C-alpha cells in the first residue's frame, strides 16, 4: 500500500498503477467494521488487476459546528493498518490546507434531497459533503465509488450529484454493518453511556417492527409511528425524526405508492445522535 498526503503524490501513485478499474472509498477516518466492509467490497470490485484508493480526510466543510469537528475521533495509525489489511493500494491522507485554499469561493450544493431528514437539522452539511466528494472524484478519477447505506441520505444526494454533474462514476451502496444486537456500527457508539448503549438496539428492533406493519399495509404515518413510539418510551431518548420517504427522492412517501420506500430515523440518546434506516420492499 502507498500512503500519500499531497495531490501531487496522489497523481504520481495513480499513474504508476493499472487504471482499468479504479475504486474509491472516501472516509473521514476513525475506521471501524463498517468501513472495513466498504474497503473489502472495493477490493473485490477492483479485482487483482484494478486499483483501490481510500481517502482519510476529516472534512471541515461538512461540520456545521467547530465543537463537533474537534470532538471527532482521530485514529490515523489504526486507519493506516486497517486499510493495508483490507487490500487498499493507495491511501490518500491530506491535511486540510492541501484540500482547501483559504480563499476558496465555490460550493456544490444539492437543493432538494439535502433539505429533509438530517439536512433539516444540519444546514450546510451536505454541501460540504458534495464539495469534498466532487474534489475527490476529480483528483482520483475513479470508475467506481462505494458509500455505506447507513448514511442513506448522503448516498442518495451523491447519486443525484453524479447524475446532474455527469461524473462518469458508478456509485455502489454497501449494506449497513450491525453489532450482534442489531445496533448499526458507528464511531459514535463508543460515546454512549452504558444505559443508552443497552437501549440503542431498540432502534433497529423498531425499524423491523415498522417494516412488518408496512408489509401489512399500514399508512406512512402509522409506519413511522411504530418507530417513534418505541423510542420515545426510552429514558433520555429524543427522536429527531422518524420518516417514511421515497427511497430515491427522499420526499414523504405517498400512501399506495408503488415506488421503493425508505424508513429513516435519527434520535438523540443523551448527547449522542444516532441514525439508522431500513429499505422497504415493494408491496406486491
Residues at the interface with ligand PAF (CB under 6 A):
26-28, 59, 62, 129, 132-133, 151, 154
Smallest separation (angstroms) from ligand PAF to the CB of 158: 8
- Give the whole-angstrom CA distance, residue 195 versus residue 234: 10
How far apart CA 181 and CA 198 sit, in angstroms, is 9
Whole-number minimum distance, CB 62 to ligand PAF, in Å? 6
Rounded-to-integer distance, Cα 183 and Cα 50, Å: 33
Q: Which is nearer to ligand PAF, 122 or 228 (CB)?
A: 122
Q: Kindly state the cell numbers that stand for 37.
A: 466492509
d(CA 69, CA 74): 10
Query: Going along 7-130, which residue ranges are E strands?
Result: 22-27, 51-56, 90-92
The smaller minimum CB distance to ligand PAF, of residues 42 and 129, is found at 129
Indicate the pairing of strand 22-27 with strand 144-148. Answer: parallel
Of the candidates 35, 125, 196, 235, the residue annotated as catalytic is: 35
Q: How far lies 49's CA from each of 8, 89, 109, 112, 258, in Å?
A: 23, 11, 35, 39, 41
C-beta closer to ligand PAF: residue 154 or 224: 154
Q: How far is the CB of 138 from ligand PAF (least distance, A)?
A: 14
Shortest Cβ 98–ligand PAF spacing (Å) = 14
Backbone angles phi, psi at 131, to 5 degrees: -65, -50
Q: Say what angle helices 152-164 and 125-140 make with each other, to 10 degrees.
A: 60
The residue among 152 and 253 lying less far from ligand PAF, judged by its C-beta, is 152
- Residue 52 CA neighbour count, 13 Å, CB half: 23
CB of 113 to ligand PAF, least distance (A): 15
Please name every residue paired with 128 in a beta bridge, in sequence order, or none if there are none. none
CA atoms within 13 A on the CB side of 183: 19
8 A C-beta contact, residue 182 and residue 188: no
Residue 3 or 222 having the CB closest to ligand PAF = 3
Choose between 136 and 226: whose C-beta lies nearer to ligand PAF: 136
Smallest separation (angstroms) from ligand PAF to the CB of 151: 5
- Is there a catalytic annotation at residue 125? no
Hey, which residues are catalytic here? 35
Amino acid at each position: 500500500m502507498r500512503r500519500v498526503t499531497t495531490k501531487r503524490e496522489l497523481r504520481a501513485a495513480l499513474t504508476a498503477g493499472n487504471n482499468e478499474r479504479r475504486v474509491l472509498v472516501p472516509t473521514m477516518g476513525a475506521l471501524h467494521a463498517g468501513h472495513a466492509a466498504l474497503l473489502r467490497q472495493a477490493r473485490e470490485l477492483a479485482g487483482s488487476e484494478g486499483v483501490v484508493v481510500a481517502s482519510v480526510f476529516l472534512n471541515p466543510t461538512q461540520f456545521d459546528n467547530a465543537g463537533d469537528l474537534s470532538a471527532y475521533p482521530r485514529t490515523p495509525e489504526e486507519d493506516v493498518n486497517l486499510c493495508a489489511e483490507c487490500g487498499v493500494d493507495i491511501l490518500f491522507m491530506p491535511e486540510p490546507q492541501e484540500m482547501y485554499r483559504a480563499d476558496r469561493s465555490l460550493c456544490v450544493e444539492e437543493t432538494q434531497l439535502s433539505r429533509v431528514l438530517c439536512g433539516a437539522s444540519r444546514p450546510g452539511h451536505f454541501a460540504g459533503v458534495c464539495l469534498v466528494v466532487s474534489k475527490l472524484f476529480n483528483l482520483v478519477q475513479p470508475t467506481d465509488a462505494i458509500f455505506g447505506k447507513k448514511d442513506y441520505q448522503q448516498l442518495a444526494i451523491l447519486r443525484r450529484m453524479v447524475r446532474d454533474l455527469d461524473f462518469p462514476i458508478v456509485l455502489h451502496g454497501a449494506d449497513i454493518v450491525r453489532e450482534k444486537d442489531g445496533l448499526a456500527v458507528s464511531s459514535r457508539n463508543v460515546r454512549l453511556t452504558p444505559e443508552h448503549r443497552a437501549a440503542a438496539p431498540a432502534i433497529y428492533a423498531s425499524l423491523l417492527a415498522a417494516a412488518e406493519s408496512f408489509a401489512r399495509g399500514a399508512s406512512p404515518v402509522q409506519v413511522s409511528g411504530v418507530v417513534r413510539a418505541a423510542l420515545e418510551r426510552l429514558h433520555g431518548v429524543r427522536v429527531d425524526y422518524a420518516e417514511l420517504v421515497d427511497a430515491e427522492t427522499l420526499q414523504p412517501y405517498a400512501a399506495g405508492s408503488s415506488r421503493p420506500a425508505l424508513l429513516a430515523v435519527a434520535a438523540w440518546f443523551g448527547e449522542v445522535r444516532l441514525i439508522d434506516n431500513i429499505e422497504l420492499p415493494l408491496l406486491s
